[in-house]
Amino acid sequence: MFMEETEILIVGGGLSGVYAAYLLSRQKIPFVLLEACSRIGGRILSTAHNGYFSDMGPSWYWPEINPKFVQLVQILGLEGYQQFEIGMGRFQYSDGSVTSVRGYATMPASWRLSGGMGSLVTGLMAYYS
């Protein structure tokens, strides 16, 4: 059995746990992060196919109402882009049926991360991996 002593234990490797680890590592404070799943990210899951990314969990952020999130995106050197609002899209239901949907504007404007939200988790983990 492996045992380790620590003063700080982070339970869960979702966004909050990974962000807590990021903040502690920037201050060079030791910690242990525990995650029950085989991957880090919690509800954030970005799948890639031929250079395109699909977010299977959270997808958007709103710069007008999430300025601290935008600041973190900038600190990590990530890039965002405004969600496409015109044209048509495809949506697949859980039963496999597919339908076309018309784009629509949101207020405030919604944004996505290049590389999917998974790039946020990867960027945060780069500071303490």
Consecutive 10-residue averages of pLDDT for the chain (129 residues)? 88 96 95 94 92 89 95 96 89 92 89 95 87
pTM (2 decimals)?
0.81
Residues linked to residue 81 through DSSP beta bridges, in sequence order: 112
| Structure-block tokens of residue 46 | 């970005």
Reported residue count of the chain is 129
Residues linked to residue 111 through DSSP beta bridges, in sequence order: 61, 82
Q: Where are the domains of the chain?
A: 9-125
- pLDDT tens for 93-119 read 999 999 999 988 889 999 999 999 999
CATH number of 9-125: 3.50.50.60
Q: Are 56 and 47 in contact (CB under 8 A)?
A: yes
**Which H or E run contains 19?**
helix 15-26
